[in-house]
Structure 1
Amino acid sequence: MSSKKEKPFHSLFAGATAGAVEAFVTYPTEYVKTRSQFGGKREPPLTIIRETLHSQGVRGLYAGCTALVVGNSAKAGVRFLSYDKFKQVLADKDGKVSAPRSLLAGLGAGVMEAIFAVTPSETIKTKLIDDAKRPQPRFRGLLHGTASIVREEGLRGIYRGLFPVMMRQGANSAIRFTTYTTLKQFVQSRTRSGQTLPSSVTFGIGAIAGLVTVYTTMPLDVIKTRMQSLEARAHYRNSLHCAYRIFTEEGVLRFWTGTTPRLVRLVMSGGIVFTIYEKVIILVGGRET
């Protein structure tokens, strides 16, 4: 994310590669986070891991993984491509982007990824995880699960929870990119001009960006999960009704359920995605001078 322009195709390719790798490496934390956010009794992360391993083995921790890997790859590609485009439009005459404009670019990128990638993949992933915890799961995998959802609920079934996803992804990208860009520019201002930052520094900056993102967007993530669960239609009229019921029936702290596994994932995610993105962009010569 330097002041040099990324070529569109290379930005898309680098982002998609980074997203796929990150999703597979961190998926068990996503599984645990999603399980902990469903309604009913509260299950501590270690209890979910122990029960899943006992009943389904390691494979159980990867229920719905394919949907997230495919979706995360598309999401990251759309995110980086959109962010770069918005950033170029909002840059000043010297090619620099201020923090407020970076926030706006990130918000726009988040909305784009929510519409074109995140909502369908997240809905399918959430329903697959919800189904997997049943004694007799209905879905036999990604393709069968997707076909069943579309057949029973139509395309609307895989776009359930679009509004909270748009809000979450917009906030995610706005906060993450702004934090990352601001910290990176700060570090670069204290190094020699033109010097490439070490991978360890890039990973650290990305991890901090992930940490900030988690605590500020967690309520939106909980609402999103509830709206995409198999029982959502029976309990919630819309996202606002869902938020109201959680607040009045379960308390405000319920909005931060699943923070620990999501924190682990996004801290790792921030480090992995930005590090891989920067490396792939350099490898394919994707930056215009």
Structure 2
Amino acid sequence: MGKESAKKGQTYTGYAAEGFISAALSGSLSGAAISACVQPLDVIRTRMQADATKNALSGAMGTFRKIVAQDGVRSLWNGTGPTIIRLSMGLGLQMSVLEGLKEALRWQHLRSADQEKGRHPERLTKLEAFLSGGLARTVAAAATCPFTVVKTRMEFTGSGQPVQGMVSMMVGIAKRDGAVGFFRGLGPTIVTNAPYSAFYYLFYTSLKERLQQHGGSQTTVNFSSGTIAAIAATLLTQPTDMLRTHMQLQLGGKGTALGLQDTWRAVVGGRMGHRALLVGVLPRALKRTLQTALVWTLYEELQPRLKQAFMKAE
């Protein structure tokens, strides 16, 4: 019995290491590949949320036309540099943390007496899936917050403001606000991203398990599950995304930085009232759905292949 347990432990350790590395690499590659494709939707979302505070909202298509007319088509890709860095780093970290949590929980399942009661050791419970997705994203969101701030500021450039590159934007933030400026809106960023990923991973794993029972290719199942899960998670976390944008753009009047409570009052105290919290939901839903579904589909294709390649290399 002791030898068998030791053998299992060695196998788990090796599997976890290979899974950790392949998850980090797959997440980084997936994020970098998809991010630039959906960046225009992020620019439109950011401008809409900024315009809402000035009572100048013109809808998604109106905002799109205004951006192109004022700043040209290229401005739709403002912030692409920090977006690629943020997503490749963030997703690599998120997927590796998630993979580590999944393997630790599965190992506990294997050692648990619950297996004897018919519990599938490879499957996480709904609570485990929810908490794992949320915790993994919390770590990634906190680590990449500086790039989120830079990305949001760059997406807002144009619209009567001078266009700045990523480096000059970072230098400007550092000079004006110091290190704290790179973590402006960290609270809403985590409050938006952690629940989004928690709900997403819960919905994704549940839907994937159900769809697999009805057949279909693995790629189709992954993409369908990812699309539905992304839409649901986006709608649930939209209000906190509006607060994050407001804080990171310092839209409290004359560039004033507001706290979360004052930001809430500023956003809902305008002409739109509480409806302002839903501004930008259409481009955000499209962006999140496309990005998340494509990233996870690509990740699910890459990660097993990379893990197998690492195992063969040994």
Counterpart for residue 280 of structure 1:
302
Secondary structure of the structure 2 residue equivalent to 1:237: coil
Length, aligned pairs only:
279
Give the deviation of 1:235 after TM superposition: 4.6
Counterpart for residue 80 of structure 2:
65
Give the deviation of 1:269 after TM superposition: 1.4
Counterpart for residue 95 of structure 1:
122
For residue 121 of structure 1, the aligned residue among 147, 151, 154 is: 147
**Is 1:226–2:246 an aligned residue pair?**
yes
For residue 10 of structure 1, the aligned residue among 3, 6, 22 is: 22
The answer to whether the Cα contact below 8 Å between 2:153 and 2:248 also exists between their aligned partners in 1 is: yes
**Who wins on radius of gyration, i.e. which is larger?**
2
Greater Cα shift, 83-92 or 45-54: 83-92
The answer to whether the Cα contact below 8 Å between 1:176 and 1:210 also exists between their aligned partners in 2 is: yes
Give the deviation of 1:244 after TM superposition: 2.5
| Equivalent-residue separation in structure 1 for 2:132 and 2:219 (angstroms) | 25
Give the deviation of 1:65 after TM superposition: 1.2
**Is 1:174–2:198 an aligned residue pair?**
yes
The answer to whether the Cα contact below 8 Å between 2:146 and 2:182 also exists between their aligned partners in 1 is: yes
Alignment-mate amino acid for residue 20 of structure 1? A
1:168-206: CA deviation from partner (whole Å, max 9, x where unpaired)? 111011011111111112222444xxxx94323211111
Task: Tell me how large the CA RMSD over aligned residues is.
Answer: 2.1
Question: TM-score normalized by structure 1?
Answer: 0.90
Counterpart for residue 239 of structure 1:
260
Question: TM-score normalized by structure 2?
Answer: 0.83
Secondary structure of the structure 1 residue equivalent to 2:38: helix
Secondary structure of the structure 2 residue equivalent to 1:132: coil
**Is 1:152–2:176 an aligned residue pair?**
yes
| Equivalent-residue separation in structure 1 for 2:175 and 2:104 (angstroms) | 41
Counterpart for residue 63 of structure 2:
48
| Equivalent-residue separation in structure 1 for 2:220 and 2:183 (angstroms) | 38
Mind listing any 5+ residue stretches in structure 2 that lack a counterpart? Answer: 1-14, 111-120
Give the deviation of 1:236 after TM superposition: 5.1
Give the deviation of 1:161 after TM superposition: 0.3
| Equivalent-residue separation in structure 1 for 2:278 and 2:257 (angstroms) | 19
